[in-house]
Structure 1
Amino acid sequence: MTVVSSYPARAVVDLGAIRANVRALADHAPTAQVMAVVKADGYGHGLVPVALAALDGGATWLGVAQTSEALALRAAGIRTRILTWLYSPSAPLRELIEADVDLSVAAPWALAAVVSAARECGRTARIHLKVDTGLGRNGMLPPVFAEVLDDALKAQAEGAVAVVGVWSHFAFADEPAHPTVLAQAVVFAEAVALAEARGADLEVRHLANSAATLTNPAVHYDLVRPGIAVYGLSPVPQVGGPQAYGLVPAMTLEAELISVKDVPAGQGVSYAHAYTTSHATTLGVVPLGYADGIPRHASGSLPNRPGAPVRVGGRTLAIAGRVCMDQFVVDLGPGAVEVAGDRVELFGTGADGGPTAQDWAQAADTINYEIVTRLGARVPRVYVGEPATTRGGTR
Structure 2
Amino acid sequence: MLKSLKALGKKLGGDRRGNVLIVSALGAASLVGAAGLGVDTAQWYLAKRQLQQATDSGALAAAMNLYRSAAFVDAAENEVDRNFPDAVNVERVVNPPQEGDYIGDNGAIEVVANVNRRLPFSSIFMSSASTIRTRSVATIVGDGEHCVISLAPDGTGVDVQGNANVILGCGVAANSPSGISVDLSGSSYLSATPISSVGGIDYSSNNIAPNTTLQAYGLPVDDPLADRNLETPTSPANCTYRNVSVNSNTTQTLYPGRYCGGLAIRGRAELEPGVYIIDGGTFSANAQAEIIGEGVTFILTGNNTATVADLQFNGGAELDLRAPTPDEDPVWHGILFYQDEMGSDTESIINGGSDMNFEGIVYMPNGDVRFNGNAGQHADCLLLIANRVNFAGESSLDNDCPSHIDDVDTTAKIIRVVE
Instruction: State the TM bucket, normalised to the shorter chain.
Output: under 0.3
Greater share of residues in helix: 1
Give the number of the structure whose alpha-carbon radius of gyration is greater. 2
Greater share of residues in strand: 2
